[in-house]
Structure 1
Protein backbone atom coordinates (compact mmCIF):
# COMPACT_ATOMS: atom_id res chain seq x y z
CA UNK A 1 0.00 0.00 0.00
CA UNK A 2 1.40 3.45 -0.90
CA UNK A 3 2.38 5.70 1.97
CA UNK A 4 1.13 9.25 2.29
CA UNK A 5 3.80 11.96 2.33
CA UNK A 6 4.79 13.09 5.82
CA UNK A 7 3.63 16.66 5.27
CA UNK A 8 0.39 18.10 3.96
CA UNK A 9 2.02 20.31 1.32
CA UNK A 10 1.09 17.74 -1.30
CA UNK A 11 -2.59 18.18 -0.40
CA UNK A 12 -2.33 21.92 -0.98
CA UNK A 13 -0.59 21.33 -4.33
CA UNK A 14 -3.28 18.87 -5.42
CA UNK A 15 -6.15 21.17 -4.39
CA UNK A 16 -4.54 24.03 -6.30
CA UNK A 17 -4.06 21.82 -9.36
CA UNK A 18 -7.74 20.84 -9.29
CA UNK A 19 -8.74 24.49 -8.93
CA UNK A 20 -6.46 25.43 -11.83
CA UNK A 21 -8.06 22.79 -14.06
CA UNK A 22 -11.52 24.10 -13.13
CA UNK A 23 -10.51 27.70 -13.88
CA UNK A 24 -8.88 26.80 -17.21
CA UNK A 25 -11.95 24.84 -18.32
CA UNK A 26 -14.29 27.62 -17.17
CA UNK A 27 -12.35 30.21 -19.13
CA UNK A 28 -12.13 27.93 -22.17
CA UNK A 29 -15.93 27.69 -22.05
CA UNK A 30 -16.13 31.49 -21.67
CA UNK A 31 -18.04 31.20 -18.38
CA UNK A 32 -17.95 33.45 -15.37
CA UNK A 33 -17.55 32.10 -11.86
CA UNK A 34 -21.07 33.30 -11.19
CA UNK A 35 -22.52 31.28 -14.05
CA UNK A 36 -20.77 28.13 -12.84
CA UNK A 37 -21.68 28.37 -9.17
CA UNK A 38 -25.28 29.30 -9.93
CA UNK A 39 -25.76 26.46 -12.41
CA UNK A 40 -23.91 24.02 -10.14
CA UNK A 41 -26.08 25.14 -7.21
CA UNK A 42 -23.16 25.72 -4.87
CA UNK A 43 -22.47 28.84 -2.86
CA UNK A 44 -20.25 31.57 -4.23
CA UNK A 45 -17.78 31.17 -1.39
CA UNK A 46 -17.60 27.38 -1.75
CA UNK A 47 -17.00 27.64 -5.49
CA UNK A 48 -14.36 30.34 -5.12
CA UNK A 49 -12.54 28.31 -2.45
CA UNK A 50 -12.52 25.21 -4.69
CA UNK A 51 -11.26 27.15 -7.70
CA UNK A 52 -8.60 28.85 -5.56
CA UNK A 53 -7.59 25.49 -4.07
CA UNK A 54 -8.00 26.75 -0.53
CA UNK A 55 -10.66 24.27 0.60
CA UNK A 56 -11.46 20.60 0.31
CA UNK A 57 -14.34 20.02 -2.07
CA UNK A 58 -17.12 17.56 -1.50
CA UNK A 59 -17.47 15.01 -4.30
CA UNK A 60 -21.01 16.29 -4.91
CA UNK A 61 -19.64 19.79 -5.48
CA UNK A 62 -17.00 18.52 -7.91
CA UNK A 63 -19.60 16.44 -9.76
CA UNK A 64 -21.88 19.46 -10.14
CA UNK A 65 -19.05 21.73 -11.30
CA UNK A 66 -17.84 19.11 -13.79
CA UNK A 67 -21.34 18.75 -15.22
CA UNK A 68 -21.71 22.51 -15.70
CA UNK A 69 -18.30 22.64 -17.38
CA UNK A 70 -19.21 19.72 -19.64
CA UNK A 71 -16.46 17.37 -18.45
CA UNK A 72 -16.25 14.17 -16.46
CA UNK A 73 -15.22 14.69 -12.84
CA UNK A 74 -12.03 12.72 -13.44
CA UNK A 75 -10.95 15.43 -15.90
CA UNK A 76 -10.81 17.81 -12.94
CA UNK A 77 -8.74 15.38 -10.88
CA UNK A 78 -6.11 14.45 -13.47
CA UNK A 79 -4.18 16.20 -16.23
Structure 2
Protein backbone atom coordinates (compact mmCIF):
# COMPACT_ATOMS: atom_id res chain seq x y z
CA UNK A 1 0.00 0.00 0.00
CA UNK A 2 1.35 3.36 -0.99
CA UNK A 3 -0.21 5.39 1.80
CA UNK A 4 -0.28 4.38 5.43
CA UNK A 5 -2.78 7.11 6.24
CA UNK A 6 -5.21 8.96 4.04
CA UNK A 7 -7.06 8.07 0.90
CA UNK A 8 -6.36 8.88 -2.73
CA UNK A 9 -9.37 10.63 -4.29
CA UNK A 10 -7.94 10.82 -7.81
CA UNK A 11 -10.66 8.61 -9.33
CA UNK A 12 -13.44 10.77 -7.90
CA UNK A 13 -11.76 14.01 -8.95
CA UNK A 14 -11.05 12.66 -12.45
CA UNK A 15 -14.64 11.48 -12.97
CA UNK A 16 -16.05 14.75 -11.61
CA UNK A 17 -13.88 16.62 -14.12
CA UNK A 18 -15.33 14.46 -16.91
CA UNK A 19 -12.12 12.60 -17.81
CA UNK A 20 -11.50 8.94 -18.51
CA UNK A 21 -8.12 7.47 -17.62
CA UNK A 22 -7.23 7.53 -21.31
CA UNK A 23 -8.11 11.22 -21.58
CA UNK A 24 -6.12 12.08 -18.46
CA UNK A 25 -3.13 10.10 -19.76
CA UNK A 26 -3.36 11.90 -23.12
CA UNK A 27 -3.74 15.29 -21.41
CA UNK A 28 -0.69 14.71 -19.23
CA UNK A 29 1.38 13.98 -22.33
CA UNK A 30 0.00 16.82 -24.46
CA UNK A 31 -0.11 19.56 -21.83
CA UNK A 32 2.73 18.63 -19.49
CA UNK A 33 4.95 16.30 -21.49
CA UNK A 34 4.45 13.54 -18.93
CA UNK A 35 4.06 9.95 -20.10
CA UNK A 36 1.73 8.28 -17.58
CA UNK A 37 -0.01 5.07 -18.64
CA UNK A 38 -3.57 4.19 -17.71
CA UNK A 39 -2.14 1.25 -15.74
CA UNK A 40 -0.07 3.63 -13.65
CA UNK A 41 -3.07 5.92 -13.15
CA UNK A 42 -5.00 2.89 -11.90
CA UNK A 43 -2.21 2.14 -9.40
CA UNK A 44 -2.44 5.71 -8.12
CA UNK A 45 -6.23 5.59 -7.90
CA UNK A 46 -6.15 2.31 -5.98
CA UNK A 47 -3.52 3.51 -3.50
CA UNK A 48 -0.97 0.99 -4.76
CA UNK A 49 1.66 3.61 -5.64
CA UNK A 50 2.27 7.15 -4.43
CA UNK A 51 1.89 9.89 -7.03
CA UNK A 52 5.26 11.55 -7.72
CA UNK A 53 5.34 15.31 -7.16
CA UNK A 54 5.77 16.26 -10.82
CA UNK A 55 2.98 13.89 -11.89
CA UNK A 56 0.72 15.23 -9.13
CA UNK A 57 1.27 18.77 -10.39
CA UNK A 58 0.51 17.70 -13.95
CA UNK A 59 -2.68 15.93 -12.87
CA UNK A 60 -3.79 19.08 -11.06
CA UNK A 61 -3.11 21.21 -14.14
CA UNK A 62 -5.01 18.87 -16.46
CA UNK A 63 -7.96 18.32 -14.11
CA UNK A 64 -8.09 21.91 -12.86
CA UNK A 65 -7.84 20.99 -9.19
CA UNK A 66 -5.38 21.40 -6.33
CA UNK A 67 -3.19 18.82 -4.65
CA UNK A 68 -5.34 18.90 -1.53
CA UNK A 69 -8.27 17.68 -3.66
CA UNK A 70 -6.36 14.50 -4.60
CA UNK A 71 -5.73 13.13 -1.09
CA UNK A 72 -7.96 13.03 1.97
CA UNK A 73 -5.98 13.00 5.18
CA UNK A 74 -7.39 11.92 8.56
CA UNK A 75 -7.59 14.55 11.24
Q: Which has the higher contact order (CA 8 A, sep 6+)?
A: 2
Structure richer in strand, relative to its length: 2
State the 4+ residue runs in structure 1 displaced beyond 6 angstroms: none
Contact map agreement 2:13 2:69 (CA 8 A) in 1 = no
Q: Which runs of 5+ in 1 are unaligned?
A: 1-8
Measure, in 2, the Cα distance between the counterparts of 1:40 and 1:10.
Answer: 22
Q: Which runs of 5+ in 2 are unaligned?
A: 30-35
Match of 2:55, SS state, is helix
Larger radius of gyration: 1
* Residue 58 (str. 1) matches residue 48 (str. 2): no
Measure, in 2, the Cα distance between the counterparts of 1:38 and 1:13.
Answer: 30
Deviations 1:8-66 (A, max 9, x none): x792453xx11xx2111111122111101111131222211111111122111111111
* Residue 26 (str. 1) matches residue 14 (str. 2): yes
Match of 2:15, SS state, is helix
Measure, in 2, the Cα distance between the counterparts of 1:10 and 1:61.
Answer: 15
RMSD between aligned alpha carbons? 2.2
Structure richer in helix, relative to its length: 1
